[in-house]
Amino acid sequence: MGLNEKPLSTLHEKASYDLADFAVPTGREEAWRFTPLSRLKGLHNGKAEITGQALTQVTTPAGVTAEWVGRGDPRIGQAYVPADRISAQAYSAFEKALVVTVPKEATPDEPVRVEVRGGGLDGATFGHIVVKVEPLAEAVVIIEHQGHAVYADNVEFVVGDGATLKVVSLQDWEDDAVHVSHHHAQLAKDATFRSFVVTLGGDLVRLSPSVSYTAPGGDADLSGVYFVDAGQHLEHRLLVDHSQPNCKSNVDYRGALQGEEAHAVWIGDVIIRVEAEGTDTYELNRNLILTDGARADSVPNLEILTGEVAGAGHASASGRLDDEHIFYLQARGIPYDEARRLVIRGFLGQLIEKIQVEEIRERVLSAVEAELSR
């Protein structure tokens, strides 16, 4: 399939399966201006040799199938067309794709678990995952990343009519890892999608979640928590493309930053196209800067091409701890360090509590505690 242009919008205009359709980024492009290209280990310019290792293991509950297939499988690329050069590189370079299928009307008792473990920094490796939830089914999927790797991948979530998919994606890499990923959810009629992204580890992580709709009634909720330490670059770039009437979306990402040259980037793009009357959408990003030398870039974009919307808004805020909150707790006998920890825990915990898998929720809370004790 060749180049696909979307002239109605100034955002995300280009999509193609062909790597040649994307120029090598220079860093001057809007899509790349925040990303330190020199730290991508050659993922963006083709210089990364495909000699790396990443072991992917999947555990499925009864009734759910998992298959390793070649790129000729018709389910590959059904929902998502690569939107930048690294995404196209990953699409052209993966060896086998993992396809997980939740059958019609199934409601598994246990989550589907996908574990990706990097085996080192000697060369890059690429992956592709498809999660297909058939009509009226309900499923929870956990995708976890650990280890050392230079890794790029695409993940497709295909949610059928009246189906519900809840996804938790955990980026818990070692400090030297590089990870660039696109997560795309395609929602059918009255489908529900809940995504929770947790990004803690890695030298450079750039994650791009996106949502599209194929029929009315789709409902997407995208939440995320990230904690950025000294020298880390954690970037989240979201796109919700409303092209069907009477669909909903809500985005809420929160981050905390501490240490010299800790850098968080959050880009939130929502497009409401002419045909998407009755859209109800809101996006929010908040960053808590805990020390000098940390930097947060937050850019919400809302592009409305119809006057008939149920609701549309966006907000962004980045700042330091509120001295009044700290004072309030200290006035009640709580020491400063503990008061600081309570405020930060409350700021992030409001979102973390939305993780419905208790084991993962407790693990994330523990990881945040560990970050705060540094």
pLDDT of residue 5 exceeding 50: no
Say what the pLDDT of residue 320 is: 82
pTM to 2 decimal places: 0.94
Average pLDDT over the chain, rounded to whole? 92
Region 208-237: mean pLDDT is: 97
Say what the pLDDT of residue 187 is: 98
How confident is residue 13, by pLDDT bands cut at 50, 70 and 90?
low
First vs last C-alpha separation in the chain: 49
Q: What is the pLDDT of residues 163-199, one digit of tens each?
A: 999 999 999 999 999 999 999 999 999 999 999 999 9
Both tokens of residue 305? 């091409």
The Cα-based distances of 226 to 103, 293, 356 in angstroms read: 33, 17, 18
pLDDT of residue 140 exceeding 80: yes
What residues form DSSP beta bridges with 59? 113
Say what the pLDDT of residue 2 is: 45
Task: Tell whether the torsion through CA atoms of 13, 19, 23 and 24 is positive or negative.
Answer: positive
The Cα-based distances of 173 to 71, 193, 320 in angstroms read: 27, 25, 27
pLDDT of residue 344 exceeding 90: no
Region 33-45: mean pLDDT is: 96
Region 56-70: mean pLDDT is: 97
Say what the pLDDT of residue 247 is: 98
CA nearest neighbour of 218 among 281, 268, 173: 281
Say what the pLDDT of residue 90 is: 96
Q: What is the pLDDT of residues 101-136, one digit of tens each?
A: 999 999 999 999 999 999 999 999 999 999 999 999
- Cα distance between residue 112 and residue 218, in whole Å: 22
How confident is residue 143, by pLDDT bands cut at 50, 70 and 90?
very high
How confident is residue 368, by pLDDT bands cut at 50, 70 and 90?
confident
How confident is residue 6, by pLDDT bands cut at 50, 70 and 90?
very low
275: left (phi over 0), alpha (psi -120 to 50) or beta: alpha
Region 227-249: mean pLDDT is: 97
**Sequence letter at residue 277:** E
What residues form DSSP beta bridges with 212? 186, 241
Q: Label the pairing between strands 65-69 and 178-187.
A: unpaired
- Is 313 or 334 the better-scoring residue by pLDDT? 313
pLDDT of residue 3 exceeding 60: no
Q: What is the pLDDT of residues 279-332, one digit of tens each?
A: 999 999 999 999 899 999 999 999 999 989 999 999 998 888 776 777 767 787
**Sequence letter at residue 266:** W
Say what the pLDDT of residue 330 is: 76
Region 45-64: mean pLDDT is: 95
**Residue 104, φ and ψ in degrees, nearest 5:** -55, 130
The answer to whether 56 and 78 are in contact (CB under 8 A) is: no
Say what the pLDDT of residue 337 is: 77
